[in-house]
């Protein structure tokens, strides 16, 4: 049975049982505490916790998920994958244990011909929480399982909670027995790989508090509305139903594995290490495909970093299989073809997906080439010193150059040199600790979402700001220092939840409104407006006058000037986006944006820098659209209708069933957008592109000033031109030529000065040779040169002196200050190297004292630092290392 067919049967079954079919949410989670959607229940958490009223009593979904916490296990076990699909059925105060157990048994054991999954009852086992007599009785009633295949287990395996105060309850897990050839008898209680968990039924039954550990907490009592949350692993069921050994061999994954093996000239199943690498490739290519399809692009932080890591592990695994060139163009189309039956978007958006993936591959292959050069030098030095490759070098390669530690270890092992893994591990742990501390600090910046549960239950905050700037509402909640309070007093920084507001909350790239909240006897300055949970708007304010209390009437007043600037910038973003697509092509779609009064920033899919001519053309088209005074029309309609009209849905954005469509000039610019906008394009005033830059291998960024800020920038540039023409006494039309001439004169003068300085240094050769001393059996020239033009001057002088030393064992170590920074360069003769003198080792010795680092080969090396005052001390230490 194909994976897409299992997917279809799941949804059909539960739809017939009265469940609302909910499409898979994005892999990019709405939950601010999660980077990705890590489980099928994540999109339903607000409903399961009661934070947001559920819009349905029963629901079902097949949810896309990403987990990378067990990434090192991928390929090694039958069922660890970074991308997986979780089939779920959910009840929100409707059916409970009896329904969940009855539905699960029916779907699993109904024959394939009758629309079920066709599992033989004798192959199934279940586990229940040891004290859950109700669940045991229901399994006996609704299944044909004998008592010995209903096993009781403890809280550590069969009790679910979030680890925080809130809902919790027992669970019941369903396992498939692979057969005696896979392990010992005894059922899931043996914890043997023979028994594969395929479905978990969570009975959300109790309210818990004082959570001391996963198994130690206080049960306050039963929930007023009990919920059901279940999850069936689609890949696990697929590999069982398809009769293969693991999830990497199912129809959605195996084709990539086979293509990778073909490219590498390997046969799957012949070598365990190669098999693991092939599974990693198949898994990670699919994960990369699905992440990019959901708008994630490779970067050095957050979600983009996780994607980058997955893609680079594919490249590394292919390299370890012997493939050094690009291979994504062979692998990604195969994954697309395997996944498009279940997810048509991967085919529809493949042009964007392949552009992002292939650019990342090209970048990383260059990184590998440069990293190998650094590693080769470190390996040579380690060999010469009969030592290990330093752990800090391995960490530098990993952290700064993106060079995988696995490849460092393999190359070093082939050369017969160990790597100081202890230091590397220590540095990695320090980095993780810093990241955890940073994440904890960021997480603590806003109150726990649970404090909004009761407030959100009162209904959505009504936003009236599309049509008015002033509106009166009622204070529903006040939060100070992360805790709910009844009042906020003068001087407090507080979060206010109102029944209605005209203040725009930051979203869709648009910054929050500025303004005031005023009531009887109080006034508060608005510092920020956010939506911490769907449907709830929270105002962060500084109480300027008086005291704000619960139930007080409160008038929201938007700063009209700021809102005008923000609407200009947001509409300007749409116009620049349309102009980009006109000039570059339809592939240049928006991947991110930010706008506020007077400023816009737009990220778009593209791999090459824009020429000056292209930037000018985009700017001109944008301003012509403004001059054309296009009508800006906003309409609300169903999402499907909006898409049928050609409204652009942007990568990474999430949309409800009803959306706002913003047209500028009719279909010229038609996008889904919940931001605020001008009523006609002429109101934008002016677009002034001030910057274009790279924000990753597949994305570019343009920045622009808008409206009065654009005019002020042009006025400032005009003043600069007037000052230059006046000072240089040339007309404006000749200014560029005059500045170019002055630049050429300056460069010629600098070149002449550099030549004179170099000649002056060469005149010191006899004096420096005369200063040579015998140290450790070699003739050594060690000298501080003082301030010099550049490090190249020092290197040239060192090589000249080394040549004068001839065939005798010799070494030259020169140091100086170039550009305010200390530089040390060492050069050895062939006989000096035979005597055991290594330029790279000498440089590292000196650079440590200079507060920096360095390296190179045995014959020539360079280092530097930050403290030029330590040059003499560095040379003294080098002298001691030579035996002086």
Is 448's pLDDT higher than 70? no
Query: Rounded CA gap, 8 and 56, in Å?
Result: 21
Residue 204: other Cβ atoms inside 10 A: 27
Residue 272 annotated in ligand binding: no
Residue whose token pair is 């080439």: 369
Is 651's pLDDT higher than 70? no
The pLDDT value recorded for residue 655 is 65
Average pLDDT, whole number, for the chain? 90
pLDDT-derived band at 657, boundaries 50, 70, 90: confident
Neighbouring residues of 514: CB distance < 8 A, sequence distance ≥ 6: 526, 558, 559, 562
Is 404's pLDDT higher than 80? no
Query: Rounded CA gap, 79 and 882, in Å?
Result: 58
Per-residue pLDDT, averaged over 220-236, amounts to 92
Residue 677 annotated in ligand binding: yes
Per-residue pLDDT, averaged over 393-403, amounts to 78
The pLDDT value recorded for residue 444 is 42
Q: Which of 354-363, 366-375, 604-613, 631-640 has the lowest mean pLDDT?
A: 366-375
Q: Which of 797, 832, 793 is nearest to 811 (CA)?
A: 832
Query: Rounded CA gap, 538 and 451, in Å?
Result: 12
The pLDDT value recorded for residue 783 is 92
pLDDT-derived band at 443, boundaries 50, 70, 90: very low
The pLDDT value recorded for residue 272 is 92
Provide the CA 208 distance to its chain's centre, in angstroms: 34
Cα four-point dihedral sign 259, 264, 270, 272: negative
The pLDDT value recorded for residue 211 is 82
Residue 577 annotated in ligand binding: no
pLDDT-derived band at 379, boundaries 50, 70, 90: confident
Q: Which of 607, 85, 2 is nearest to 363 (CA)?
A: 607
Cβ atoms of 297 and 307 within 8 Å: the answer is yes
Residue whose token pair is 């390296």: 855
Neighbouring residues of 586: CB distance < 8 A, sequence distance ≥ 6: none
Per-residue pLDDT, averaged over 381-385, amounts to 83
Work out the percent of the chain whose per-residue pLDDT is above 70: 97
The pLDDT value recorded for residue 706 is 96
Neighbouring residues of 765: CB distance < 8 A, sequence distance ≥ 6: 797, 800, 801, 804
- For 514, 537, 573, 836, the CA distances from 565, given in Å and listed in that order, are 11, 22, 12, 70
Q: Which of 161-175, 565-579, 767-781 has the highest mean pLDDT?
A: 565-579
Q: Which of 222-236, 524-538, 577-591, 636-650 has the lowest mean pLDDT?
A: 636-650
Three-state secondary-structure class, residue 489: coil
The pLDDT value recorded for residue 650 is 66
Per-residue pLDDT, averaged over 88-106, amounts to 96
Cβ atoms of 453 and 50 within 8 Å: the answer is yes
Per-residue pLDDT, averaged over 544-550, amounts to 95
Q: Which of 416-430, 478-492, 537-551, 831-845 has the lowest mean pLDDT?
A: 416-430
For 575-619, write each residue's pLDDT tens digit.
Answer: 999 999 999 988 888 888 999 999 999 999 888 899 999 999 999
For 686-716, write each residue's pLDDT tens digit.
Answer: 999 999 998 877 789 999 999 999 999 999 9
Per-residue pLDDT, averaged over 71-99, amounts to 90
Q: Could you tell me the two tokens for 879?
A: 């002298």
For 5-56, write each residue's pLDDT tens digit.
Answer: 999 999 999 999 999 999 999 998 877 678 899 999 988 988 887 778 888 9
Is 283's pLDDT higher than 90? yes
Query: Rounded CA gap, 263 and 848, in Å?
Result: 46
What 29-38 contacts at long range (C-beta under 8 Å, 24+ apart), as own/partner pairs, is 30/534, 30/654, 32/446, 32/449, 32/532, 33/443, 35/302, 35/303, 35/306, 36/65, 36/66, 36/67, 36/303, 36/306, 37/63, 37/64, 37/65, 37/66, 38/65, 38/66, 38/67
Residue 416 backbone dihedrals phi, psi, to 5 degrees? 75, 25
Per-residue pLDDT, averaged over 827-837, amounts to 92
Per-residue pLDDT, averaged over 348-374, amounts to 86
* Angle subtended by helix axes 3-16 and 234-241, to nearest 10: 120
Element of type H or E holding 554 = strand 553-558
Per-residue pLDDT, averaged over 288-303, amounts to 88
pLDDT-derived band at 630, boundaries 50, 70, 90: very high
pLDDT-derived band at 438, boundaries 50, 70, 90: low
For 103-158, write each residue's pLDDT tens digit.
Answer: 999 999 999 999 999 999 999 999 999 999 999 999 999 999 999 999 999 999 99
Neighbouring residues of 819: CB distance < 8 A, sequence distance ≥ 6: 790
Residue 579 backbone dihedrals phi, psi, to 5 degrees? -65, -40
Provide the CA 702 distance to its chain's centre, in angstroms: 21
Residue 142 annotated in ligand binding: no
The pLDDT value recorded for residue 515 is 95
Between β-strands 687-694 and 590-596, what pairing exists: parallel, antiparallel or unpaired? unpaired
Between β-strands 124-129 and 150-153, what pairing exists: parallel, antiparallel or unpaired? parallel
Q: Which of 288, 277, 286 is nearest to 321 (CA)?
A: 277
The pLDDT value recorded for residue 436 is 57
Is 445's pLDDT higher than 50? no
Residue 604 backbone dihedrals phi, psi, to 5 degrees? -145, 155
Cβ atoms of 283 and 83 within 8 Å: the answer is yes
């Amino acid at each position: 049975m194909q994976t897409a067919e299992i997917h279809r049967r799941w949804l059909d079954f539960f739809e017939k049982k009265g469940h609302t079919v909910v499409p898979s949410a994005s892999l990019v989670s709405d939950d601010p505490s999660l980077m990705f959607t890590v489980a099928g229940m994540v999109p339903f958490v607000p409903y399961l916790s009661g934070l947001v009223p559920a819009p349905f009593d029963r629901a079902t979904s097949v949810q896309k998920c990403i987990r990378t916490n067990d990434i090192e296990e991928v390929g090694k076990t039958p069922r660890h994958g970074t991308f997986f699909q979780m089939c779920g059925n959910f009840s929100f105060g409707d059916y409970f244990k009896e329904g969940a157990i009855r539905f699960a048994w029916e779907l699993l054991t109904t024959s394939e011909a009758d629309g079920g999954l066709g599992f033989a009852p004798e192959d199934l086992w279940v586990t229940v929480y040891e004290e859950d007599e109700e669940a045991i009785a229901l399994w006996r009633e609704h299944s044909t399982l004998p008592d010995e295949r209903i096993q009781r287990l403890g809280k550590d395996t069969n009790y679910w909670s979030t680890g925080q105060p809130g809902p919790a309850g027992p669970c019941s897990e369903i396992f498939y027995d692979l057969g005696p050839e896979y392990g010992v008898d005894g059922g899931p209680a043996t914890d043997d790989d023979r028994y594969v968990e395929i479905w978990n039924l969570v009975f959300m039954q109790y309210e818990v508090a004082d959570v001391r550990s996963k198994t130690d907490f206080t049960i306050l009592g039963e929930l007023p509305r009990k919920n059901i949350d279940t999850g069936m692993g689609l890949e696990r069921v697929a590999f069982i139903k398809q009769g293969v050994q693991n999830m990497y061999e199912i129809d959605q994954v195996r084709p990539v594995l086979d293509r990778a093996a073909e490219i590498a000239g390997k046969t799957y199943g012949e070598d365990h290490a190669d098999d693991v690498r092939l599974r990693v490739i198949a898994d990670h290519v699919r994960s990369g495909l699905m992440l990019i399809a959901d708008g994630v692009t490779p970067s050095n932080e957050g979600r983009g970093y996780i994607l980058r890591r997955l893609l680079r592990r594919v490249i590394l695994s292919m390299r370890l299989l012997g493939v050094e060139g690009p291979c994504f163009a062979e692998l990604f189309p195969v994954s697309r073809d395997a996944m498009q039956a279940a997810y048509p978007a991967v085919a529809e958006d493949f042009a964007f997906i392949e552009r992002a993936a292939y650019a990342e591959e090209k970048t990383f292959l260059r990184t590998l080439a440069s990293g190998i050069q650094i590693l080769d030098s470190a390996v040579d030095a380690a060999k010469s010193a009969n030592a290990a490759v330093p752990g800090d070098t391995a960490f530098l390669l990993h952290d700064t150059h993106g060079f995988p530690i696995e490849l460092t270890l393999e190359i070093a092992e082939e050369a017969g040199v160990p790597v100081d893994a202890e230091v590397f591990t220590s540095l990695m742990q320090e980095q993780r600790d810093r990241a955890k501390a940073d994440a904890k600090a960021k997480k603590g910046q806003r109150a726990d979402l649970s404090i909004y549960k009761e407030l959100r239950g009162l209904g959505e905050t009504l936003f009236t700001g599309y049509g008015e700037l002033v509106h009166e509402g009622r204070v529903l909640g006040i939060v100070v220092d992360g805790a709910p309070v009844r009042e906020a007093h003068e001087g407090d920084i507080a979060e206010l939840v109102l029944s209605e507001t005209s203040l725009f909350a930051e979203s869709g790239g648009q910054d929050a409104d500025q303004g005031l909240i005023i009531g009887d006897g109080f006034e508060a300055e608005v510092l920020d407006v956010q939506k911490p949970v769907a449907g709830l708007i929270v105002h962060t304010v500084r109480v300027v006058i008086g005291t704000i209390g619960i139930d007080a009437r409160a008038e929201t007043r938007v700063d009209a000037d700021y809102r005008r600037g923000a609407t200009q910038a947001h509409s300007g973003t749409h116009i620049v986006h349309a102009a980009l697509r006109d000039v570059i092509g339809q592939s240049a779609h928006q991947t991110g944006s930010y706008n506020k009064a007077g400023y816009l920033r737009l990220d778009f899919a593209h791999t090459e820098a824009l020429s000056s001519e292209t930037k000018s053309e985009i700017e001109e088209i944008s301003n012509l659209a403004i001059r054309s005074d296009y009508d800006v029309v906003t309409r609300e309609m169903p999402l499907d209708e909006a898409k049928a009209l050609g409204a652009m849905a942007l990568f990474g954005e999430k949309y409800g069933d009803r959306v706002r469509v913003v047209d500028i000039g009719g279909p010229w610019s038609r996008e889904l957008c919940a931001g605020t906008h001008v009523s006609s394009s002429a109101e934008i005033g002016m677009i002034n592109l001030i910057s274009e830059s790279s924000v990753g291998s597949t994305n570019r960024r343009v920045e622009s000033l808008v409206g009065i800020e654009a005019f002020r920038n042009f006025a400032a540039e005009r003043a600069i031109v007037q000052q230059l023409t006046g000072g240089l006494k040339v007309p404006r039309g000749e200014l560029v030529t005059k500045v170019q001439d002055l630049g050429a004169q300056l460069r010629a003068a600098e070149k002449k000065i550099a030549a004179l300085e170099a000649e002056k240094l060469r005149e010191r050769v006899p004096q420096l040779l005369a200063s040579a001393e015998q140290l450790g059996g070699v003739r050594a020239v060690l000298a501080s040169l003082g301030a010099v033009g550049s490090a190249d001057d020092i290197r040239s002088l060192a090589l000249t002196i080394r040549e004068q030393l001839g065939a005798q064992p010799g070494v030259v170590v020169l140091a100086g200050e170039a550009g305010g920074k200390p530089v040390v360069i060492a050069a050895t003769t062939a006989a000096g190297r035979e005597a055991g003198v290594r330029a790279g080792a000498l440089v590292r010795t000196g650079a440590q004292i200079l507060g920096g680092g360095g390296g190179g080969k045995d014959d020539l090396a360079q280092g530097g630092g930050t403290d030029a005052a330590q040059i003499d001390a560095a040379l003294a230490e080098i002298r001691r290392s030579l035996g002086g």
